[in-house]
Chain A
Amino acid sequence: MKFLGEQLNKPWIGAIPALIYLAIFFAVPLAYLVVVSFWTLSPQGFEILPEWTLRNYHQFFNTKVNMIGYVRSIYITFFSVSIGVIFGFIFAYTIAFLLPKRFRLLGLLIVVLPFWTSFIVRAFSWQLFLNETGPLASLLRSIGVLSGNLGVVDTHVGTVIGLSLFCLMIVTVSVYTVIEGIPRNLLEAARDLGGTEWTVFKEVILPLSWPGLSIAIALSFIICFGDYVAPTLLGGGLNLVFAQLMVGSLLENFNVPMAATYAVFLLLTILFITLPIILLGRRNY
């Protein structure tokens, strides 16, 4: 029989298969993509040649469509995340504090459930709903609010609606989890010391939920900024966002180094925006 110590010695071995898998299929491909952004496209335009160049970056900055697409992605993301945060917080607060205890889980389930289905199906259902022949438009027409077109689908208003609901779900779940864990007597103490419902929210609930909220914001940003499906299905095919430009340069122009360059900027943007948010969100108490 082995000694106890001998049996306990190498439990880390179990992490190796997953580690190797993620190294081969996640870390290396991503690193390779960054490298490819500095390589050259062959003159025929089908192969990548390992010749170092900065031409992709040059071209990236000199193409006006890129800049427009980038800014468009930023503001779509900004609006989607902001709307998601505001309404997600409202929903989480309502579930946690206004709903009787036995209905809280149900409330959470209601917001999570639609997201366990395909994003395409959901985006498409929004298209049906917001269409000029869909229920919303015909309802508004029948009560006389709307005379012409609704004009939501095929503009990025549709994109923002679709994405903000996604953010709403993320924010609701993470904020709910955090504020559910706030000891109730902290809120009671704040009330007792003279706080109104609003000041208790501002002074206690909001700061204490910031760790969860910051992660939700970062995650929402990543999803919105990198999304390809919602802008394509809801935003129409004309005003392209950054992810669409990236996918287009690979699947339509077969320009791999250029697609890789887009990818680098996508990564950098995510890093620069989300890292400070996450660092700011760390608990300092």
Chain B
Amino acid sequence: MGHALLHLLSFTIVLALYLPIITLIVFSFTAARYPFFPVKSWSLKWYEALWKDQQFYEALTNSIIVSGLASVVATVLGFLAAYSLTRSTFRGRSALTGFMVIPLSVPLVLLALSLRVYFATFQVNFDLFTVFLGHMVYMVPLSILILRGRFQGFPWSHEEAAFDLGAGRIRTLFEIVLPWMMPAVVGSILLNFTFSFDEFIIAWFLTNFEITLPIKIWTDLLMNYDPKVNVIGTIVFLLSVSVAFLAMFSLRKGNQS
């Protein structure tokens, strides 16, 4: 009896998680201007309209540029930091690790606000570059967290063996450590990409005219409701989910080997 109840509740949870997204996807195929259920007539016209929407392409391009760059740079910084934090044994190491992951526990709106005020003081132009800088504040700690997990399982004797055979630290890093870390590196890049690609509030605070995709959705929703937003939402959902799938696959494969 109790187990049946647990199964029923869990099934309800799954419904609650997926029904809205299914609704979104269904509405992207409706012909009506405003979403109405049950759907009366089906059409691909909003997909067609989006196809011709210049602003959508700009926003998409901007998002890909920022997310692509930031996820790679953040992973590089995170890799070096995670390597140092697991490899060396100086005093205050755990305090430093703690400091480096604190940004993950600060609301994004606070990161956005503080950076906006900070940049404004220096009269910095708010464009894609500031969005990049802002996203990195969250993404560097995220990469450290992801990569540290795999570094902790690294057999350090391999590194010592390479030193012993005459390889320098940099060479060892590239030839011994990096190949072993590859699944986590790929996972880190992909997860960071989806974070940046989906992130709204920091981007919204830190750019004026060069908008990213989430900002485009936001303005389409709030300023002038545009049914194309269902289509964008559907595309963003499918894209993010497939990238996240790749990331988890890569991380999992790494854990098995």
A125 contacts B20, CB within 8 Å?
yes
Closest to B144 in A: A18
Tell me if B's interface is mostly helix, strand, loop or mixed: helix
A219-253 contact mask (Cβ, 8 Å, vs B): 1 or 0 = 10011011111001100000000010011001000
A121 contacts B109, CB within 8 Å?
no
A138 contacts B38, CB within 8 Å?
yes
Closest to A33 in B: B114
Residues of B contacting A91 in the complex (Cβ-Cβ under 8 angstroms) = 9-10, 13
Given known contacts A4-B164, A94-B10, A128-B20, A118 and B117 CB-to-CB distance under 8 angstroms:
no
A67: interface (CB < 8 Å): no
A242 to nearest B CB, angstroms? 10
Residues of A contacting B200 in the complex (Cβ-Cβ under 8 angstroms) = 118-120, 229
B155: interface (CB < 8 Å): no
B23: interface (CB < 8 Å): yes
B190 to nearest A CB, angstroms? 10
A79: interface (CB < 8 Å): no
Q: How many residues of B contact A (CB 8 A)?
A: 85
A8: interface (CB < 8 Å): yes
Q: Which of B141, B169, B248 contacts A22 (CB 8 A)?
A: B141
B27 contacts A128, CB within 8 Å?
yes
Give the CA-CA distance A11 to B80 in the complex, in Å: 9
Residues of B contacting A11 in the complex (Cβ-Cβ under 8 angstroms) = 83-84, 87-88, 169
Selected interface stretch from B47-55, B100-108, B179-187: B100-108
Give the CA-CA distance A80 to B17 in the complex, in Å: 15
Give the CA-CA distance A183 to B134 in the complex, in Å: 42
B37: interface (CB < 8 Å): yes
Give the CA-CA distance A59 to B17 in the complex, in Å: 42
Residues of A contacting B244 in the complex (Cβ-Cβ under 8 angstroms) = 113, 116
B31: interface (CB < 8 Å): no
Given known contacts A26-B137, A118-B198, A168-B13, A14 and B81 CB-to-CB distance under 8 angstroms:
yes
B82-103 contact mask (Cβ, 8 Å, vs A): 1 or 0 = 0111011010000010011011
A131 contacts B100, CB within 8 Å?
no
Give the CA-CA distance A128 to B20 in the complex, in Å: 7
B240: interface (CB < 8 Å): yes
A227 contacts B109, CB within 8 Å?
yes
Residues of A149-169 contacting chain B, CB below 8 A: 161, 165, 168
Give the CA-CA distance A30 to B9 in the complex, in Å: 42
Closest to A3 in B: B163
Residues of B89-142 contacting chain A, CB below 8 A: 90, 96, 99-100, 102-103, 105-111, 113-118, 120-121, 133-134, 136-137, 140-141
Residues of A contacting B100 in the complex (Cβ-Cβ under 8 angstroms) = 15, 18-19, 22
Residues of B contacting A30 in the complex (Cβ-Cβ under 8 angstroms) = 106, 110, 114
Residues of B contacting A228 in the complex (Cβ-Cβ under 8 angstroms) = 109, 201
Q: How large is the interface on A (under 10, 10 to 19, 20 to 34, 35 or more residues)?
A: 35 or more
Q: Which of B23, B84, B218 contacts A12 (CB 8 A)?
A: B84
Closest to B107 in A: A226
A63 to nearest B CB, angstroms? 19
Residues of B contacting A260 in the complex (Cβ-Cβ under 8 angstroms) = 113, 117
Q: Which of A33, A125, A161, A259 contacts B24 (CB 8 A)?
A: A125
A24 to nearest B CB, angstroms? 9
B99 contacts A22, CB within 8 Å?
yes
Residues of A contacting B214 in the complex (Cβ-Cβ under 8 angstroms) = 118, 120
Give the CA-CA distance A36 to B27 in the complex, in Å: 46
Q: Which of B2, B19, B78, B114 has the most CB of A within 10 A?
A: B114
5 extra interchain contacts, Cβ-Cβ under 8 A, other than A14-B83, A28-B118, A133-B36? A25-B134, A26-B137, A109-B248, A121-B236, A259-B113
5 A-B residue pairs with CB within 8 Å: A33-B114, A116-B241, A118-B237, A122-B21, A250-B113
List chain A positions with a Cβ less than 8 A from chain B: 1-2, 4, 7-8, 10-15, 17-19, 21-22, 25-26, 28-30, 32-33, 36, 48, 87, 90-91, 93-95, 98, 109-111, 113-114, 116-122, 124-126, 128-131, 133-135, 137-138, 161, 165, 168, 197-198, 218-219, 222-223, 225-229, 232-233, 243, 246-247, 250, 256, 259-260, 263, 266-267, 270, 274
